[in-house]
Amino acid sequence: MKKNRNIFISFLILAVIALVLWLTQAQNTFRRSLSDFALNDSASVTKIFMSDKNNNSVKLTKISPGKWTVDDVFPAQKQNVELLLKTMIGIEVQQPVANAAHDNIIRELAVNAVKVEIYQWVYRIDLFGMIRWFPHEKLTKVYYVGGATQNNMGSFMLLENSSEPYIIFLPGFRGFVSPRYSPIEKYWRDYNIFRKSLPEIANVKVEITADPEYSYEVKNNGKNQFTLSSLSDHTLIPDYDTLKLLNFLSGFRNLNYEALLNDMDKARKDSILSSSPFIVITLTDTAGVSKTIKTYHKKGPEGQTDPQGIPLPYDLDRLYASVNDGKDFTLIQYFMFGKVLRPKSFFIKEKPGKR
């Protein structure tokens, strides 16, 4: 009888210990779920949506490995998306927000936080990563990203359906990650205007509106055979500088704008766009797709003069440009675009003896 009682007491003690361990583990699991911000795998991410209370929002969608779009319209900057994904994988919880600051941080997040939604490719049945059945896209994480901590070494974040904010940091990074979660569309867009190699170019038209006689068209006939003709009368120019023409066409390999100016004051922008363009370039690729850029002079900075001290009316370093069928107004640099802003006379060989 005594032996049975001892067995029962031992069993009861073990049961209590097991219950305590189970409750502790369950509580730890629950608490970990409240701070589960980091991704385990970025390759499975299919879409990221970010928005704020100022009606700014952006959707990044993966169309193929390493290629993303912005709002299903524009190509995304690969480097920026990769940086965001690395951040989403690397972030860690530093600590919960102190009780004294809890209410203030919650109010701040409610007003100024960026809501982040992450969608991933998951499987309804996934046995240890070896047997995977029924793939589908799923919203896997939703959290809110707030501002920086007082020492600028962390960011406040809050998981959806949680009331416990945390201080999040990125190991090895001195700073806060909040700016990487921007809901502003223009920060994610690829700045590229032209990205065509020479074999991909079918023809290029260059219209110089103030001097039509300097306008021209270059046609790629294949096998390194090209024709240069005047746009004003369509006459062929047989004796052109081949090297200069090749350098011109090669200039379209990677041309980017410097800044997107869609938010410029409307009256000022309309005034520029209503003026006569400086140079208009239309490139048609071998697939028959055309892209046009219209450039406009930019007023020169105060005090800019030529070597003789005469004030110059236009900026020598930058131009305005209308791209994407007039949807975008941008700023471009002569340093980048000067090689394709050439008049017809640039390609014509000088006659012997002429300097």
pLDDT value, residue 306: 74
User: Dihedrals φ, ψ of 258, to 5°?
Assistant: -85, -40
Question: What average pLDDT does the structure give for the chain?
Answer: 88
- Bridge-based pairing state of the strands 279-285 and 259-260: unpaired
Task: Please determine, for residue 200, whether its predicted confidence score (pLDDT) is greater than 70.
Answer: yes
Confidence of residue 1 (pLDDT cuts 50, 70, 90): low
Residues 111-134 pLDDT 10s:
999 999 999 998 887 776 677 788
Do 121 and 39 touch, CB atoms closer than 8 A? no
Task: Please determine, for residue 31, whether its predicted confidence score (pLDDT) is greater than 50.
Answer: no
Helix count and strand count (H, E) for the chain: 6, 19
Task: Please determine, for residue 74, whether its predicted confidence score (pLDDT) is greater than 80.
Answer: yes
pLDDT value, residue 24: 44
Give the least confident one: 10-14, 75-79, 87-91, 286-290: 10-14
pLDDT value, residue 126: 76
pTM: 0.77
Ranges of beta strands (E only) in 149-215 are: 155-159, 166-169, 192-194, 201-208
